[in-house]
Structure 1
Amino acid sequence: MRVAIAGAGAVGRSTAAELVEAGHEVLLIERDAANVLRTGLERANWLVADACELASLEEARLQDYQVVIAATGDDKVNLVVALLAKTEFAVQRVVARVNDPRNEWLFDEGWGVDRAVSTPRIMAAMVEEAVGVGDLVRLLTLRTGQTNLVGVTLPGATPLAGKPVRTLRLPADAALVAILRGSRVIVPQQDDPLEPGDEMLFMATVDVEAQIQEALHITPQGQPAR
């Protein structure tokens, strides 16, 4: 299958790597030459161009691709790419990344989108389904098998209530990537206060997962540490 991906940021590169590994022919369209130089995806094809420009997509011969993935970090760009791919080049399947959940309602057939992928929404659904209070649950394992997306829900009696994110003493190989609070998806900043019931998502290597619970003052049984 021939797949064109607009955007060679972290999401676009990772998606391209998976597709190339699976034997698909991949074209990455990226306007920042620096992103192209650092990817290391020698088996993918490249076009240094602005995917929002009709002339760029004509140069890429987008009509020859079965799937187009709009994977940039800008929702406006992803919508324009999706609309052009569907209306100007009649691409059979268009997948678009949703960065801000508030924009999710726009990503429909009217904008040429066959499938919208909202990472915050997916993570929220996974946490709602899988994570018990205080438990550390693996939600996603990366290809290497050594790094996981893990979720922990802060107990009601957490001693971290009201304390800012910067007070967390996380191990070196762990990073807090999102906090789910009710219907909100929070990209954590150093001064953001923590609250009981916060569903916290971390990227971490396997060997430091227990240390994450220690940093959150949670025992291995999922209870607040005294």
Structure 2
Amino acid sequence: MRVAIAGAGAVGRSIARELIQNGHQVLLIDKEPRSIRQDRVPDAEWLLADSCELASLTEARLDRCDVVIAATGDDKANLVTALLAKTEFGVPRTVGRVNHPNNEWLFTEAWGVDVNVSTPRIMSALVEEAVSVGDLVRLFTFRQGNANLVELTLPGDSPYVGTPAGLIPFPENCALVTILRDGQVYVPTAEQPIEAGDELLFVAPSEVEEELERLLAPGSHGG
């Protein structure tokens, strides 16, 4: 997969290193000469250019990219980069970094952003996930599918402790995708029982989240 990253600061370089380690081709773009530090990510391609300019993105051959990540420290630049990538070059997948939480509402498909990544929201979700038992915590939103990745730690008084996953009447369009238990990751099967303290990861639309909470943790949510 070929990935272009706009913003070659610490965040952009870190993303690039991870992607290269996973076997992907990476192009780093930045308009600041001091950010072009090829020694930091020697296996990446580098381009000194402004990702908000159409000519620069043409030079970068964005039409050949599978993903564009707008990871600069400027929300306006990230929005313009994502919009140009999507509308002018038909990039299949765009990811936008949200620097200021008040701007998160702008990072939608209307601005060419398929997925937005908000550091404040992620940190808040991780804190909630670490301390909450029986409460549903939203970790991530999938823009195209109108669904969320959510987590619930199963309380000891859940009526489904010890019940095989296939026998639990989960809400419609809700899928249990992973069970985290004792530091291990389990791919759930119909025969796999869920246990107290399990961290359950679901993909579910927003409208069934409360129903899911009431189902698995009725003691906390009046189910």
Counterparts of 2:101 and 2:82, CA distance in 1: 17
Structure 2: distance between partners of 1:45 and 1:38: 8
CA distance in 1, matches of 2:35, 2:112: 27
What residue identity is the alignment partner of 2:117?
Answer: V
Distance in 1, matches of 2:107 and 2:10, equals 21
* Counterpart in the other structure of 1:12: 12
**Distance across 2 between alignment mates of 1:38 and 1:124:** 34
Letter in 1 for 2:34: A
- TM-score using structure 2 length: 0.58
Residue in structure 1 matched with residue 114 of structure 2 by the alignment: 114
> Is 2:104 the counterpart of 1:104?
yes
**What is aligned with 2:123?**
123
Distance of 1:95 and 1:85 partners within structure 2: 10
Matched-pair contact (CA < 8 Å) for 2:20–2:43: yes
Match of 2:40 in 1: 40
Match of 1:205 in 2: none
Whole-angstrom distance in 1 between the partners of 2:30 and 2:19: 17
Structure 2 CA distance for aligned equivalents of residues 38 and 57 of structure 1: 19
Counterparts of 1:91 and 1:11, CA distance in 2: 21
The 1-side partners of 2:119 and 2:10 are apart by 13
Tell me whether 1:2 sits opposite 2:10 in the alignment.
no
CA deviations over 1:170-209 (Å, ceiling 9, x no partner): xxxxxxxxxxxxxxxxxxxxxxxxxxxxxxxxxxxxxxxx
Contact 1:70/1:97 (8 A) holds in 2: yes
Is the counterpart of residue 28 in structure 1 residue 28 in structure 2? yes
Q: Secondary structure of 2:16's partner? A: helix
Letter in 2 for 1:95: V
Q: How many residues align?
A: 132
Percentage of pairs with the same residue: 67
Displacement of 1:131: 3.8
Partner amino acid for 1:75?
D
Partner of 1:56: 56
CA contact (8 A) 2:7 2:72 kept: yes
Task: Report the CA distance between 1:37 and its aligned residue.
Answer: 2.4
CA distance in 2, matches of 1:119, 1:39: 27
Question: How many Å separate the matches in 2 of 1:2 and 1:15?
Answer: 13
Report if the CA contact (8 A) 1:4-1:67 is conserved. yes
Structure 2 counterpart SS, 1:46: strand
Distance in structure 1 (CA, Å) of the matches to 2:39 and 2:119: 22
Structure 2: give runs of 5+ residues left out of the alignment.
133-223
Match of residue 90 from structure 1: 90
Give the secondary structure class of the aligned counterpart of 2:89: coil
**TM-score under structure 1 length normalisation:** 0.57
The structural deviation recorded for 1:36 is 1.2
Secondary structure of the structure 1 residue equivalent to 2:117: strand
Question: Gaps spanning 5+ residues in structure 1: where?
Answer: 133-226
Name segments (4+ residues, structure 1) moved above 2 Å: none
The separation in 2 between residues aligned to 1:77 and 1:15, in whole angstroms, is 18
SS at match of 2:96: strand
Tell me the secondary structure at the aligned position of residue 36 of structure 2.
helix
Deviation digits for residues 14-72 of structure 1 (CA, Å, limit 9, x no counterpart): 00000011110000001112111265111000000011110000000100000000000
**36-45 vs 76-85, which moves further:** 36-45
* Distance in 2 (alpha carbons) for counterparts of 1:35 and 1:29: 9
Q: 1:27, 1:46 within 8 Å by CA — same for their partners in 2?
A: yes
